[in-house]
Each structure stands twice: as structure tokens, then as C-alpha cells.
């Protein structure tokens, strides 16, 4: 990643145009061609500098629901349990953390009922208890981290 | 860049929300794993959904106005970028002060998310979560110490959970059914 990649990422963390040729607009701001921007973005996604590029949807506003769920997974079963948890399309993120509660996943579903259904199903398939911790209040955060 | 969909939390967002129809749902499904990296990305979505590009753009603008699209943006992988220490700091603070304290913590520049969540006594006593990103463990602990200082005696106990591995990171997906 070079200086221009950093500038592009910081620019695109803030937003992206909803116009017919949005990449051309962004490229012009950075003094490069559209095709160079496209190939840089492709590379940043391929080498995992970017984890996503596109619209970020708010599942709650779609009548959906979110929760953060935690599990205490025995070390020897960890990969097997991760495979089960990751197999659900509703699991948006999953992190291993250095703690007795060592697996933390985010569920995003269309209805609040489905949160419970997926968590129950995971409990049934893994034999482990799921601690579901939906956010009660979200506190205002300013800007994204600069890269 | 007035044509850009920037993250701007002061923009009016309907409280009653809006209901999405089947076409909106098809747009969501066509874009939730990412925007096509082609010159005219909304043309490709229009083709997949079976409507015009103009309609795709118009509908996505409305979805953004109502906050259903938070923003169209690049999401950096902080881990790849050298922010190797991703610490989820968790705090046990009195429930009647959690909003006041949560707002103060969220205002710190190094905190990327801050939420109140339910406790599970006795396994989990913490009700306030603040995510900090740092280049290493030591730097993260310095940031956590700043939160500790800010909380003072409202802090009845805390812990920091560092991420060891990203097991999955896809963002929200609508299941393929019901279409």
C-alpha cells in the first residue's frame, strides 16, 4: 500500500458517489484514471487491506435485529465450533478473543425472533451456552480511524 | 463532494422508518457483498435486479436518506493495516450513570464503538463496551488507562479482551429466501 492507496482509502471511508460513473469521479479527485482506481481497489480487496467495499446496510432499520454473542469454547473444540458458527449466513462477524469468553460473533437477522432461533440452534449444535448481548444504547462516535 | 454518500449522523433519518419492497430487497441482495468494480457499477446491479440504472440510483438514494444504507464506503481491515491490537474494553459502571459515561468515552478519538449491553451476573458483570484500536498491546493498554482515569470511581471493575483472530467478516447478509 502506497501513499495514494492511503488517500483513496481515507476518502472512501467517508463515502462514495451514487452516480452513473462513480469511480471516474473519485479517480479525478486523486488525479488518476478510472481504470487505475479500479485496479488499486481490486488489489486492496485481494490483499485484504480492505475487508469490504460497498453499501453498509443497517439491519435494524430493515426490521431486522443485531446482537453480539459470546461463547466460552474449550480450546480443543475451537475450530470445530468456529466452523459451525461461521456456517450461518446471519453471522456477519466472528472474532477469537483472548479471554475465557473466547468467541464473539455478531448476528444480523431480518427479525428479532431469528436472533433467538440462530442462537438456540448454535447452542444445540455445539452444546455450549450462548450469551447474547444486544446493544441497549449506542453512543455517538465521530470519524473513522485514518489509515 | 456533495454527490457522495458521506456518513453524517446529523442528517435527518425517519423515526418511523420506511418499508422496503421486493425491488429494494433485490438491490440489497445484489450489493450486500460489495459494489461491482466496473466503470458503471449501478448498471450491473440494474441488470441483475431487472430495472433501470436510474431507478437503482434513485432507490439507493432513498435507502440512504432513511438510514437503511448507513453509507457506501470502503471498510479497511485494521488488522492488515497494522492495528494488531484490537481491544474490547468492558466496564462495570452504575446503570444510572452509564449514558453520561458512555457519551464521554465515545468522544475519545481512539474509541471506534461504544455501547451499553446487558450484564449476565455472575459470569459477565460488564455493561459498557468500548472498542480501542492500537498498533500493539502496550499502546492499547495506555488507551484503556485513559478510559480508566476518565471513569474514576464509577469504574467498579473492567477487563480488556484482545482479538486473536478474525474468524469471519462479511457484513450483514440477507438470506437468499423470500424473494
Q: Domain check: are B66 and B91 in the same one?
A: no
In the predicted structure, residue A69 carries a pLDDT above the cut 80: yes
Q: Which residues of B120-152 are buried (b: 16+ CB within 10 A; e: fewer)?
A: eeeebebbbbbbbbbeeeebbbebbeebeeebe
Residue B78 has what pLDDT? 79
Contacts 24+ apart (CB under 8 A), B53-60: B53/A20, B55/B23, B56/B27, B57/A18, B57/A19, B57/A20, B59/B23, B59/B24, B59/B27, B60/A18, B60/A55, B60/B27
Domain-embedded: residue B158: yes
Domain-embedded: residue B113: yes
Domain-embedded: residue B42: yes
Model confidence at A14, in pLDDT bands (50, 70, 90)? confident
Closest residue in chain A to residue B103, using alpha carbons only: A139
Domain-embedded: residue B27: yes
- Under an 8 A CB cutoff, do B167 and A86 touch? yes
Closest residue in chain A to residue B132, using alpha carbons only: A145
List CB contacts (< 8 A) between A45 and chain B: 34, 37
**Residue located via cell numbers 449466513:** A89
Q: Domain check: are B65 and B98 in the same one?
A: no
Q: Domain check: are B41 and B100 in the same one?
A: no
Q: What is the mean pLDDT of residues A124-138?
A: 96
Domain-embedded: residue B24: yes
Q: What is the pLDDT of chain A when averaged over all its residues?
A: 93
Q: What is the pLDDT of chain B when averaged over all its residues?
A: 87
Range of the domain at B142: 85-162
Residue B46 has what pLDDT? 98
Closest residue in chain A to residue B27, using alpha carbons only: A55
In the predicted structure, residue B172 carries a pLDDT above the cut 90: no
Q: Domain check: are A76 and A37 in the same one?
A: no
Q: Please tell me the distance from the alpha carbon of residue A67 to that of residue A93, in angstroms, as a whole number.
A: 11
Residue B85 has what pLDDT? 87
- Under an 8 A CB cutoff, do B118 and A139 touch? no
Indicate the number of domains in chain B.
Answer: 2
Q: Which of A74, A71, A75 is nearest to A85 (CA)?
A: A71
In the predicted structure, residue B76 carries a pLDDT above the cut 90: no
Domain-embedded: residue B175: no
What is the percent of chain A with per-residue pLDDT over 90, rounded to a whole number? 78
Residue B80 has what pLDDT? 84
Which of A141, A145, A147 has the highest number of chain B CBs within 10 A, making it the mutation to test binding with B?
Answer: A141
Domain-embedded: residue A93: yes
**Interface pTM (ipTM) of the complex?**
0.73
Q: Which of A27, A59, A132, A23 is nearest to B32 (CA)?
A: A59
CA distances from residue A19 to A134, B1, B8, B34, B55 in whole angstroms, order as listed: 36, 12, 19, 16, 11
In the predicted structure, residue B179 carries a pLDDT above the cut 50: no
Range of the domain at A25: 3-46
Domain-embedded: residue B37: yes
Q: Domain check: are B70 and B89 in the same one?
A: no
Model confidence at A125, in pLDDT bands (50, 70, 90)? very high
Q: What is the mean pLDDT of residues A115-137?
A: 97
Indicate the number of domains in chain A.
Answer: 2
Q: Domain check: are B8 and B33 in the same one?
A: yes
Q: Please tell me the distance from the alpha carbon of residue B45 to that of residue A137, in angstroms, as a whole number.
A: 35
Amino acid at each position: 500500500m502506497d501513499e495514494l492507496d492511503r488517500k483513496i482509502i481515507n476518502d472512501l471511508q467517508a463515502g462514495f458517489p451514487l452516480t452513473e460513473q462513480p469511480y471516474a469521479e473519485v479517480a479525478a479527485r486523486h488525479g488518476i484514471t478510472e481504470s487505475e482506481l479500479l485496479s488499486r481497489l481490486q488489489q486492496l480487496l485481494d490483499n485484504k487491506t480492505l475487508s469490504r467495499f460497498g453499501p453498509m446496510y443497517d439491519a435494524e432499520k430493515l426490521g431486522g435485529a443485531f446482537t453480539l454473542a459470546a461463547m466460552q469454547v474449550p480450546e480443543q473444540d475451537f475450530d470445530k465450533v468456529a466452523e459451525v458458527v461461521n456456517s450461518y449466513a446471519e453471522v456477519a462477524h466472528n472474532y477469537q478473543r483472548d479471554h475465557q469468553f473466547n468467541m464473539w460473533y455478531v448476528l444480523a437477522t431480518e427479525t428479532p425472533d431469528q436472533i433467538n432461533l440462530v442462537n438456540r440452534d448454535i447452542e444445540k449444535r455445539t452444546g455450549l451456552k450462548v450469551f447474547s448481548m444486544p446493544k441497549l444504547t449506542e453512543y455517538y462516535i465521530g470519524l473513522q480511524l485514518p489509515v | 463532494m456533495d454527490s457522495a454518500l458521506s456518513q453524517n449522523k446529523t442528517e435527518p433519518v425517519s423515526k418511523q422508518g420506511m418499508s422496503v419492497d421486493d425491488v429494494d430487497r433485490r438491490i440489497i441482495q445484489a450489493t450486500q457483498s460489495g459494489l461491482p468494480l466496473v466503470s458503471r457499477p449501478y448498471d450491473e446491479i440494474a441488470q441483475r435486479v431487472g430495472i433501470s440504472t436510474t431507478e437503482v440510483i434513485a432507490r439507493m438514494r432513498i435507502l440512504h436518506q432513511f438510514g437503511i444504507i448507513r453509507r457506501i464506503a470502503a471498510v479497511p481491515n485494521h488488522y492488515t493495516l497494522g492495528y494488531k491490537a484490537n481491544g474490547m474494553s468492558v466496564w462495570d459502571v452504575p446503570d444510572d450513570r452509564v449514558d453520561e459515561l458512555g457519551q464521554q468515552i465515545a468522544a475519545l478519538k481512539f474509541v471506534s464503538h461504544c455501547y451499553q449491553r446487558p450484564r449476565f451476573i455472575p459470569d459477565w458483570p460488564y455493561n459498557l463496551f468500548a472498542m480501542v484500536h492500537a498498533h500493539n498491546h502496550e499502546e492499547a493498554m495506555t488507551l484503556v488507562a485513559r478510559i480508566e482515569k476518565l471513569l474514576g470511581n464509577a469504574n467498579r471493575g473492567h477487563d480488556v479482551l484482545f482479538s486473536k483472530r478474525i474468524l469471519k467478516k462479511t457484513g450483514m447478509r440477507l438470506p437468499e429466501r423470500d424473494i
